[in-house]
Structure formats: structure tokens, C-alpha cells
């Protein structure tokens, strides 16, 4: 994705002709040393994926508001004082939902499945954008309560509550935006994390999983005629925002290039239905 965008930037500005994006495998125990070495080598910036997003937050010189609220960083920018940390996942999620489903998180009831790191970032973004209510479901009650306690300072008057899909009342209204931030769907044969037919009909379903492209949740949504999309668009938009932080190139300009490159790499021909 980044190479495709950098190639276009180099066509417009020769300054970017020498830029390269590297994939570097780093174990959790090697993270502190790696961050120091890459800073010494003056890498312009870094992306971080699991399991480094939370650990790296405590190792940056400063972090933006999105990273602080999400409790994780996925993008670092080189500065003289050390790494500056950002989180572009929430931005990527909101842009992807708007682009693929035509839905806005602002003023919308949201159902969030999961209580891990991805869910925390999603929840923080939903609250920051002013969703009308947030219902969170998770298989492990302890993890759910932990997430709810983290979110309470961010509520700002928005209703945030835990939700059991099997409960007969107290659930979300029809017309919600349903976001899957669980790992269910990453493996072939994984069941859907919720039965869409047993809950008030959502306005749209967004599954953060992008490989495989079609999860059990998305298959059920399509069968019920509910607009749905997988997470590839989120991947492209968060990547484009990271590139904007490093280069200044507007994310909206590079996101289509990055999405097209991701589609080619994965052999997919669609991200939404």
C-alpha cells in the first residue's frame, strides 16, 4: 500500500523518490531496543501492529489525543526529542464506514463487538465523533467491565453500556451501526460473534477483519440484505492517514491508491456488498 502511494508522490515531487517502506519483524521483548535503533537511524516514521500498539504508548515522547484515548499508538513520527505517537485506526474506521456503508458515526447508535485493543480504539472514536449511544458486547464479562471503566471518562453524556445479545431487553435500537472488533472470523470456520437475525436490524455491519474477506458475520448480513463491508477499507484509510503524518500528503488523495494496491495483493475484487 505504501509503495503504491509513494510511487505517486514521487511522480509529483522528486523528494519522495528515495522513500521506502520496510517490513521489520520485532518480538515484544525487542521493542524498546528496536524503537531506539530506528530513531537513531532517523527513520521518518513507523507503523506498529499487534502486539506493540499498547506497549509503545509508554515509550513515546508525546502522544496525540486519539492515541491517549485509545490507549495505543499505531503510528510514530521522528522528532529530535524522540518518537511522537499517533493512532490513526479510529480515523480509518470512521472514514471506512462512511465510504463503504454511507453511514456516519455522529448521532448514530453503535453496537461494538469485542473488548480488546481494537475495540477500545473503535469505542473512543465513536464517542469522540458523538455517537448517540454505544452498546458493547463481549464474551468475557471481566474484559467488558474493564473496557467500560476505561470509557467512562470519555462518555460526555453519551449512553455507554454493556450488552448481552441473548438478553431480551436493554439492547440497541434498530438502525444501529454494528462494528465487529473481535478476532472471530480470522480463521476459516469461525462462527459469527452475534446472530443478526436475533437482534434489532442494524443499518449496516462493518467487520474489521479483511483477510479472509468474507466472514460468517458478513455472510449472514448479506443473506439478510443488510449493507456490510470488511475491514480492508479501514486498513487503507488508517495507512493513508499515517502517510499524511509523515509526508503531509492528504490522506484522501492516497487512500484510493492504497486500497487498490491492497486489493491487488489480496486478490479481492470487492470490500463491500
Least confident of 114-128, 162-176, 212-226, 234-248: 162-176
**CB contact at 8 A, 206 and 97:** yes
**75-79 and 82-86 beta bridge pairing:** antiparallel
Task: Tell me which residues are annotated as active site.
Answer: 53
DSSP-assigned beta bridge partners for residue 205: 178, 228
Please identify which residue in the block is written with the cell numbers 521506502. Answer: 20
Q: Which of 212, 214, 266 is nearest to 236 (CA)?
A: 266
Retrieve residue 134's grid coordinates. 454505544
pLDDT in tens, 52-109: 998 999 999 999 999 998 888 999 999 999 999 999 999 999 999 999 999 999 999 9
Q: What confidence score (pLDDT) does residue 270 get?
A: 52
pLDDT bucket at 179, cuts 50 / 70 / 90: very high
Q: What is the mean pLDDT of residues 254-258?
A: 97
Q: What confidence score (pLDDT) does residue 211 get?
A: 84
Q: How far is CA 85 from CA 55, 161, 258, in A?
A: 12, 29, 22
Mean pLDDT (the chain) is: 92
Domains and CATH numbers, the chain: 2-88+233-266 (3.40.50.10860), 90-231 (3.40.50.720)
- What is the value of pTM for the model shown? 0.91
- Separation of alpha carbons 60 and 213, rounded Å: 34
**CB contact at 8 A, 239 and 217:** no
Amino acid at each position: 500500500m505504501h509503495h503504491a502511494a509513494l510511487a505517486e508522490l514521487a511522480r509529483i515531487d522528486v523528494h519522495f523518490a528515495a522513500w521506502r517502506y520496510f517490513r521489520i519483524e520485532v518480538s515484544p521483548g525487542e521493542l524498546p531496543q528496536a524503537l531506539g535503533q530506528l530513531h537513531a537511524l532517523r527513520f521518518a516514521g513507523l507503523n506498529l501492529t499487534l502486539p506493540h500498539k499498547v506497549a509503545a504508548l509508554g515509550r513515546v515522547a508525546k502522544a496525540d489525543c486519539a492515541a491517549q484515548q485509545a490507549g495505543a499508538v499505531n503510528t510514530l513520527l521522528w522528532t529530535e526529542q524522540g518518537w511522537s505517537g499517533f493512532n490513526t485506526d479510529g480515523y480509518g474506521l470512521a472514514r471506512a464506514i462512511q465510504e463503504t456503508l454511507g453511514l456516519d458515526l455522529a448521532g448514530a447508535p453503535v453496537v461494538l463487538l469485542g473488548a480488546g485493543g481494537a475495540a477500545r480504539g473503535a469505542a473512543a472514536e465513536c464517542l469522540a465523533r458523538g455517537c448517540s449511544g454505544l452498546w458493547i458486547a463481549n464474551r468475557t464479562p471481566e474484559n467488558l467491565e474493564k473496557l467500560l471503566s476505561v470509557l467512562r471518562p470519555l462518555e460526555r453524556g453519551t449512553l455507554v453500556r454493556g450488552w448481552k445479545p441473548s438478553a431480551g431487553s436493554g439492547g440497541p435500537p434498530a438502525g444501529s451501526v454494528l462494528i465487529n472488533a473481535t478476532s472471530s472470523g480470522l480463521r476459516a470456520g469461525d462462527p459469527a460473534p452475534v446472530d443478526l437475525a436475533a437482534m434489532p436490524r442494524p443499518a449496516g455491519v462493518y467487520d474489521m477483519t479483511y483477510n479472509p474477506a468474507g466472514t460468517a458475520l458478513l455472510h449472514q448480513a448479506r443473506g439478510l440484505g443488510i449493507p456490510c463491508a470488511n475491514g480492508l477499507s479501514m486498513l487503507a484509510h488508517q495507512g493513508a492517514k499515517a502517510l499524511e503524518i509523515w509526508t503531509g500528503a492528504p490522506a484522501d488523495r492516497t487512500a484510493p491508491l492504497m486500497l487498490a494496491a491492497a486489493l491487488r495483493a489480496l486478490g479481492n475484487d470487492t470490500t463491500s456488498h
